Structure 1
Amino acid sequence: MRGGKKRELFDQPPQVVRRWFSIKAIRVFRPYIEGVLRYHLRIKLVIRERKHSVALTEALNATVENFKKSKSAMHFESLKIFFNLSLFFLLAEKDIQAVKIDALTHADEWKRNLSLRIILLVIHEWDMAKVAPANKLKEAYRLAGISDELIGEMNLAFRKINKAHAKAKQLLSPARHATIAHRDADAMLQYEMIVKLDPLATMAVASSFYEGADLLVSTLPKVMLEASSAHSLLKQYRGST
């Protein structure tokens, strides 16, 4: 600040001077403060997510193993549908879980942004209609004799996840090819779409997805347990012959 402007500043009321210095201090120290906060948040999240990551990996491996066994068995299509649905979901959740911490806390802004885009893309492409169309899933429930209570829980989980899916499409659809695959020929458009991605909006979508995911994770094993019972297996066998 030049001498004349400095004198003009100090001629202002004390509250104006204090406000100016506060703004100046925030501009100077904000990157350092944010860096420290991200560092501490990263440590906290790594510790918190470690147990979840182990449980998710175990669930994924167990599902793959049991799914392979079910595919070799005949007459149990309902069980195969539930295993396929479970594996489809776990793969998506594993991808999100792998980049979630970086999306929030990585020191490099570009890597944070890339992780956010990956989260949006995974949720954006998570299409339940491809894996378990409503009519096919309804028939699987019927053949396996799944209780109305569990069906209600599954439907609630799907509604929450589909809501997050719709929000992800709204956020990412216009920029999906430009920001992930870099297919758009307009490089400046790519850049602007990337840097303008809203972290808070993205994590709100992820949070909405996890709200439904948590319910699905707690309900699917109960559905598969019912579908694996002797009564259900006999019902499925009779229904397929």
Structure 2
Amino acid sequence: MLSPEREALIANELRVGKVIDATIETCRMESARAARLGSDDIVRIHNLAIYVCLSERDQGLLKIEALRADESDHARLSLVARQWATLLYEVAGDIRQKAFTMPIRETILAIDPGAQFELNEINSLAQQFWHRRGQELKRWRNAACAHRDFDALLQLHVVQEIDLLAVMDIAGEFADVPRRVVPFLTNVLAKTVGLDGALRVLGRASRLGGVET
């Protein structure tokens, strides 16, 4: 029997999950629309938004799994901790290194030239988080995924030391990044609504630096 506090937290995560699912569906439809107009650049921005939303939804599901688990079920809690740590490592690394590549940055700035400051702010947040937590998450991820540089006993030791509460604290730190990314991308993409002609121009350009006029 779950406590009322846990039930309330689970209900909140389920509500948030529905909002995220609705956002994903909107991005999916708009991405298909941009693809029909031949705008691969806009499609890439939608893909990034969907990726970040999916990672947020997955983290919400892991939190629900942790809240539903009995505190004495150490194996289950350990599994959730490992999965969560691995997800954080992959997503944080992707946002830091791959999310805002030069083509995507150029697309964003072509749509909204005033977005440079916030782009830099988001990148700074991602870099700061990685500087604080990247190596710790990498160690946990490597152990959880049974990389060959871990012998079985060392792997077992590292896996057993992964604490769910510690992982949740790290997830709380990281939350500042997607909380900035998704609204930022939403605001940028909102500027493309109804601009079919502009989308076609972006789609025809081989590089954003050489957009046709």
Instruction: With a CA cutoff of 8 Å and minimum separation of 6, indicate the structure with the bigger relative contact order.
Output: 2
Q: Report the CA distance between 1:201 and its aligned residue.
A: 2.9
Residue segments in structure 1 that go unaligned for 5+ positions in a row: 1-35
In structure 2, distance between residues paired with 1:47 and 1:206: 19
Q: Deviations over 1:107-135 (max 9, x none)?
A: 122222221222221121121333431x2
In structure 2, distance between residues paired with 1:172 and 1:142: 32
Of the three residues 189, 213, 222, the one matched with 2:187 is: 222
In structure 2, distance between residues paired with 1:160 and 1:115: 26
Residue matched to 1:82: 45
Larger radius of gyration: 1
Quickly say closer, same or farther: Cα 1:154–1:227, change in 2 above 3 A.
Answer: farther
Q: Report the CA distance between 1:54 and its aligned residue.
A: 0.5
Of the three residues 177, 186, 189, the one matched with 2:154 is: 189
After superposition, residues 1-241 of structure 1 pair within 5 angstroms as 39-74=3-38, 76-103=39-66, 106-107=69-70, 108-126=73-91, 127-128=94-95, 129-133=97-101, 135-144=102-111, 146-148=112-114, 150-181=115-146, 183=148, 186-230=151-195, 232-233=198-199, 236=202, 239-240=211-212
Q: Report the CA distance between 1:209 and its aligned residue.
A: 1.6
Say how many residue pairs are matched: 201
CA contact (8 A) 2:41 2:103 kept: no
Q: Aligned letter for 2:142?
A: H
Q: Deviations over 1:200-241 (max 9, x none)?
A: 432222112212212222221111011335285376367157
In structure 2, distance between residues paired with 1:125 and 1:173: 9
Residue matched to 1:14: none
- Give the TM-score normalised by structure 1: 0.70
Residue segments in structure 2 that go unaligned for 5+ positions in a row: 206-210
Q: CA RMSD in A?
A: 2.8
In structure 2, distance between residues paired with 1:217 and 1:174: 28
Q: Report the CA distance between 1:153 and its aligned residue.
A: 2.8
- Give the TM-score normalised by structure 2: 0.78
Quickly say closer, same or farther: Cα 1:193–1:232, change in 2 above 3 A.
Answer: same
CA contact (8 A) 1:103 1:115 kept: yes
Percent of aligned pairs with the same residue?
22
Q: Aligned letter for 2:31?
A: F
Q: Report the CA distance between 1:198 and its aligned residue.
A: 3.1
